[in-house]
Structure 1
Amino acid sequence: MKHWDAVEILVQVVDSGSFSAAARQLGISKSHASRRLSALENQLGVQLLTRSTRSLALTETGEAYYLRCKSILAQMRETELAVMEQQDTPRGNLRISVAGAFGERYVAPAAAEFLHLHPALNMHIDFSSRNVDLVEEGYDLAIRAGTLRDSSLIARRIAERRLLICGSRDYFDRYGIPQNLRDLRNHSCLVGSLATWRFRERDGQHSELKVEGRWRSNNGHALLAAARRGLGLVQLPEFYVYDDLQAGRLQAVMNDYQPTDTAVWAVYPHNRHLSAKVSLFIDFLCERFRQIDYLS
């Protein structure tokens, strides 16, 4: 509104009882307050105040206008306070899109703990591997793993996602240990939802190699089960195979080719003033995952 500052002046003048007192409250000059109020009356085409050297009073139209504007100003101040408070205290609804085993095993328990700490917050977690439209579908953020494509979203790295090539000791006893990408062509590879594995070349560039084998599955636990049985090599995030590596059931190979551009990301719409609930939740996830060796 072009003359909204004049509306604030009108309310303050009436509440204070004079232009002088209102000007002091607003930190402006008495003459400026008078000019702005006159401009408002000219814009509306009505007289809001009757003035004299000793007193001022609202006209009938002015009183109706004053009461409406005073109510609007009060609502605006309440809204501003609510927004400012929300920047310090998470409240309302937090809607998240997550995918896969990482979401089930790590994000969901962390989200439950976060919700326990913030009783004014409601949490909605949607498990889906599809590429959701955060803005159109009303999500506050998504947790995604892997390499990120260019987009208008903001991404923050919240955990490492090291991809390891592993096999059982029995498999290596029978077929040997691959040393380079060329060797993989002579090995049975357990194929996941993608027919390619990702690598970091000797020159630091990343590439993908098509792999083949007797076993194909779009489930990480199924691939892990096949690797344990010695059916072939598998490329999986470290959190899948960590326990097996520690127990000696699997052995990691070709670590020099491990890609460095994959991670777990929190992605959210571009927003200069990120809400407290989203910002604090992302910070919370980062702190939780930092405490887990194979995610930090």
Structure 2
Amino acid sequence: MDRFQELTAFVAVVEAGGFSAAARRIGESQSVISKSVGALEKRLGVQLFNRSTRSVTLTDHGRKYYERTRPLLEEMEQADGELMNSTLEISGLVRIATSATFGRLHVLPLIPELLALHPKLKLDLILSDSVQDLLAENVDLAIRVSPVYSPDAVVRRVTTTSLVCAGSRRYFEQHGMPSHPEDLQNHNCIIYNGVDSWNFVGPRGKFSVRVSGNLSSNTVETMLSAVRDGIGIGMFYRASLVGELRSADIITVLDQFISETRDVSLVWPNRRYISARVRQVTEFFATALAQRI
């Protein structure tokens, strides 16, 4: 059996999540896909997938083989595209991961423009406040608003956003408005991901204030809802409050004591070869997010 056919079938099963989905994705029958993967496993002498009636998952051998061979297929796709016609529209699937609130506010509004530019493109958008493992989750591009420390990824900073401390007008009318960061110790502060030490800067330099409150969460959406409902004060990226700050009900405080910023970065797996469609999508978001934020 043709080795390229075997490899194409294997990668399709990995990225589609199953044999039936892989068959639909590349326009082959499920039996052809199964035979191709079976022939590949027989030739290599290892099992690449754990198969059950409900799911198909990679074995350790399969994961390592995918990480090594996927860039080779992408290189071939890139070479084919460059030789065939440089004006051909990019097509195929791109998986994008970003945080839920940032994605809703800044990534989703850009999707119609991106798809209008590239109608044959397919997008799988993952919105989650947890940090995705790019290789394990087959993510092509992550958009992150946080420090990124990963030797297995390429990081491209596109813009920055500042931190702000905010609460609702109703909350401040009931509990008073802090004039100094230390006043926060007497306020109900909403804790995000267990971070109960907030950083500030004053005449003597940087300092931290330990805060506490009756609500904590691992999602920015929960914090935003709590602030709107007058429960307490939260620390946010300004980019997460883009709509809220237009409302007279949301007020920022202690602005003169906050100087920290966060990078908005594009992150992708550290592969030697990146497909044309992923490069195009990366360039689109690099330009669009820098203009938007």
| TM-score tier after normalising by the smaller chain length | 0.5 to 0.7
Shift of 1:267: 0.4
Alignment-mate amino acid for residue 185 of structure 2: R
Per the alignment, do residues 105 and 87 of structure 1 end up closer, same or farther by CA in structure 2, a change over 3 Å counting? farther
**What letter matches 1:233 in structure 2?**
I
Larger radius of gyration: 1
| Equivalence for 1:146 | 146
Moved more, 182-191 or 196-205: 196-205
Give deviations 1:167-208, integer Å, cap 9, x for gaps. 233433443332333222122112233332543434898776
| CA-to-aligned-CA distance 1:215-253 (integer Å, 9 cap, x gap) | 333343332333234332111222443444333212111
Answer yes or no: is 1:195 the counterpart of 2:214. Answer: no
Residues of 2 paired with 1:182 and 1:208: CA distance? 9
TM-score normalised by length of structure 1: 0.60
TM superposition score normalised by structure 2:
0.61
Task: Give how far 1:272 is off.
Answer: 5.2
Q: Distance in 2 between matches of 1:77 and 1:288?
A: 29
Q: In structure 2, how many angstroms separate the alpha carbons of the residues matched to 1:217 and 1:167?
A: 16
Please give the per-residue CA displacement for 1:239-273, whole angstroms capped at 9, x wherever unaligned.
44344433321211112333534132210122455
Q: Amino acid of the residue matched to residue 148 of structure 2?
A: L
**Kept after mapping to 1: 8 A contact 2:168/2:230:** yes
For 2:146 and 2:76, the matched residues in 1 are separated by: 44
- State the distance in 2 between where 1:175 and 1:249 align: 15
Shift, 1:137, TM fit: 3.7
**What is the CA–CA distance in structure 2 between the aligned matches of 1:187 and 1:245, rounded to whole Å?**
21
2:81 is the alignment partner of 1:82: yes
Deviates more, 1:98-107 or 1:205-214: 205-214
| Percent identity of paired positions between Structure 1 and Structure 2 | 27
Alignment of 1:1-296 (within 5 A): 80-83=79-82, 90-196=90-196, 198-202=198-202, 209-271=209-271, 274-292=274-292, 295=293
Q: 1:274 & 1:83 partners in 2: Cα distance?
A: 14
**Matched residues in 2 for 1:79 and 1:151: separation?**
25
Describe the shift of the 1:250–1:126 C-alpha distance in structure 2 as closer, same or farther (beyond 3 A).
closer
* 1: CA distance, partners of 2:178 / 2:212: 15
Cα distance in 2 for partners of 1:96, 1:234 equals: 28
- Residues 99 and 197 (structure 1), Cα distance of their counterparts in 2 relative to 1, 3 Å cut: same
Which ranges in structure 1 are unaligned for 5 or more consecutive residues?
1-75
Residues 196 and 119 (structure 1), Cα distance of their counterparts in 2 relative to 1, 3 Å cut = same
* In 2, Cα distance between equivalents of 1:111 and 1:201: 38
Q: CA 1:113 to 1:175, structure 2 compared with 1: closer, same or farther past 3 Å?
A: same
Q: 1:271 to 1:164 in 2, by over 3 A?
A: same
Q: Contact 1:164 / 1:235 at 8 angstroms: preserved in 2?
A: yes
Residues of 1 paired with 2:250 and 2:134: CA distance? 39
Paired AA for residue 284 in structure 1? F
Residues 169 and 251 in structure 2, CA contact (< 8 A), matched pair in contact too: yes
CA shift for structure 1 position 165? 0.5
Q: Residues 24-73 of structure 1: CA distance to partner in whole angstroms, max 9, x if unpaired?
A: xxxxxxxxxxxxxxxxxxxxxxxxxxxxxxxxxxxxxxxxxxxxxxxxxx
